[in-house]
Amino acid sequence: MRWDNLRLTGPAEDDPAAPLFARGAVTRTFDTPEFTGMTFYEIRARSIVNRVPAASRVPFEYTINPYRGCSHSCIYCFARKTHEYLDLDAGADFDSKIVVKVNAAELARKELASPRWGGHHIAMGTNVDCYQRAEGRYRLMRGILAALRDAANPFSILTKGTLILRDLDLLTEAAGVTEVSANVSAGFVDPEMWRAVEPGTPNPRRRLEVCATLNDNGIACGVLMAPILPYLTDSPAQLERTVKEIADAGATHIAPIVLHLRPGAREWWLTWLSREHPRLVPRYLELYGRGAYAPKAYQQRITSQVKELAERFGVGRATPAMARRLPPRPAAAAPAPEQLRLL
């Protein structure tokens, strides 16, 4: 089974109140403001390097996910459905009941050293954020990054968090022996929309500061401009504002992705929309009436707009602010503008 690695290695306890997967796990709550109302299930996973199903529409084969569930509480999060596999709901449980694979670093070191492992690229932060608030307490990523560095195994990280800068030392050490890259996720920079739909995340502008800092320190970092929310963050003025700030942050590339509504996220999003923007519900049902994705014509229009803006503002080229931070290059060595890359 795809979720077999979440089973417990120890004997299960007879606790009918606990989700099935968590029987035998250590259940913790913390009496601190940032963890109010949250429960953490500490489990010992059987494996940590996961192969992505071939049917998935992603450009990578292997992932490491030290957590399940996410305190970022993004209303639109496509990963919400995965909590239902754990006998938890895709709504409030996803935001507040977090599975912590406490032996993640130990397993990573063991699996990367296996003769059967082929040294493939590993993507992190692709299901839930590996730098969500829980990471500040559990510090699993430091051990995982050290294992990847020691194995000289290529990897990438996608995050909405700023905690990644805590591990800048390990990232730069790993970049000295293998290919390391990062993306921050910021679909828009509007502060009201951020507070409404991404209440547990750092401000998008802080994420863009992370992008600038990583690039300043030799870790190539782009921006996943996702999700772009139809009728909420997709106006020409909003797209221009977001792309300009991404360019000013010195992003190496930009990848625009329109909101998609898979089961689990779809119900949660439409409930929020009917409460906060009821007039938009019919328009969303029209856009997403046939499935999880907006019509191709709409997606192509948004992608084209973002591409044109990226070229205008010089995404992938050093902005004046970046130029002050980077050593001067001879004119002949100046790189050509980088083509917009879609993940």
Record the pTM.
0.86
* pLDDT, tens digit, 9 for 90 and up, residues 29-41: 998 999 999 999 9
Q: What is the pLDDT at residue 316?
A: 87
* Residue 96 CB neighbours (<10 A): 19
| Degrees, nearest 5: CA angle 65-69-70 | 95
pLDDT-derived band of residue 186, with 50, 70 and 90 as boundaries?
A: very high
* pLDDT, tens digit, 9 for 90 and up, residues 197-206: 999 999 999 9
Average pLDDT, the chain: 88
Instruction: Check if the beta carbon of residue 306 is closer than 8 Å to that of residue 340.
Output: yes
For residues 145 and 156, what is the distance between their CA atoms, to the nearest angstrom?
11
DSSP 283-309: HHHHHSTTSSB--HHHHHHHHHHHHHH
Tracing tokens 């895709």 back to the chain, one arrives at 90
Instruction: Check if the beta carbon of residue 315 is closer than 8 Å to that of residue 247.
Output: yes
| The pLDDT of residue 339 is above 70 | no
Q: Residue 122's beta-bridge partner residues?
A: 62, 155
pLDDT-derived band of residue 3, with 50, 70 and 90 as boundaries?
A: very low
DSSP 159-191: ES-SGGGGGHHHHHHHHTTS-EEEEEE-S---H
Q: What is the pLDDT at residue 332?
A: 29
Q: What is the pLDDT at residue 334?
A: 32
Q: What is the pLDDT at residue 17?
A: 58
**Is the bond preceding 66 in cis, omega lying within 30 degrees of 0?**
no
Instruction: Check if the beta carbon of residue 128 is closer than 8 Å to that of residue 68.
Output: yes
DSSP 303-339: HHHHHHHHHHHTTTS--HHHHHHSPP--GGGPPPPPP
| The pLDDT of residue 268 is above 50 | yes
